[in-house]
Amino acid sequence: MSPVKKALPARAARLFEDPARPADSHVVHVDGASRGNPGPAAYGVVIYRPDGAEVFRLGKYLGRATNNVAEYYALLTALDFAVVHGITKLRVRSDSELLVRQMQGHYKVKSTALRPLHEHARKLARRFSYIAFEHIPRELNEAADELANEALDHPGRKPVSRGEKASAASRQVPLATRTVRARYSRGALYPAEPLGLPEGAEVDLTIHRTR
């Protein structure tokens, strides 16, 4: 595996679609699903090299969340994998118009649950020399959709993943003490980043209000 390349400076990133799409861009498909909305939720991610070869796929159960939250977790996992592997040009495809238009800057992020996830995604997006967010029909997003629904159908199963190296957002990490920012809304805490915890893990919380 080639060494991870240093990401280009933030000012080089393009957060909007560009008609002159680089031919050497990786292509990402993301999808989120929630039964009940909010209810049991999961997401799916598939990443392809510029030549069309698949390099990474993941289907992961989240627990109780909305469909839009699941969509953002899929996006964060994809962006994290790309950063870790030195990918500098990316085309992100999703059938969620809300996710795409918010990342393009066309829609405002009004949901307090989505705001920290959106901010984190924008921060990661600025690390690419080229990035475009493309809204596609659901039928063109079947692979990611199937992964999300498989994870929903089997919530206790180990995440379905395949790739050169697990991304920080998808791999399970030891249950050590960590500091994680979260936003409280409607009786639930929404982490600003994927936690990478195994399904069913129990944690102790220490609440410190930041503002």
Decide if 166 is inside a domain: yes
In this prediction the pTM is 0.72
Decide if 206 is inside a domain: no
Decide if 16 is inside a domain: no
Decide if 3 is inside a domain: no
Mean pLDDT of 54-75: 95
Q: Which domain holds residue 72?
A: 22-191
Q: What is the pLDDT of residue 211?
A: 67
Q: List, for residues 19-36, the tens digit of each pLDDT value.
A: 467 999 999 999 999 999
Q: How buried is 192 (Cβ within 10 angstroms: 0-12 exposed, 13-18 middle, 19+ buried)?
A: middle
Decide if 12 is inside a domain: no
CATH number for position 96: 3.30.420.10
In degrees and rounded to multiples of 5, residue 200 shows phi and psi of: 90, 0
Mean pLDDT of 67-93: 96
Number of domains in the chain: 1
Mean pLDDT of 150-164: 80
Going by C-beta distance under 8 Å and a sequence separation of 6 or more, which residues neighbour residue 203?
A: 175, 197
Decide if 4 is inside a domain: no
Decide if 13 is inside a domain: no
Mean pLDDT of 37-46: 96
Q: List, for residues 116-132, the tens digit of each pLDDT value.
A: 999 999 999 999 999 99
Decide if 136 is inside a domain: yes
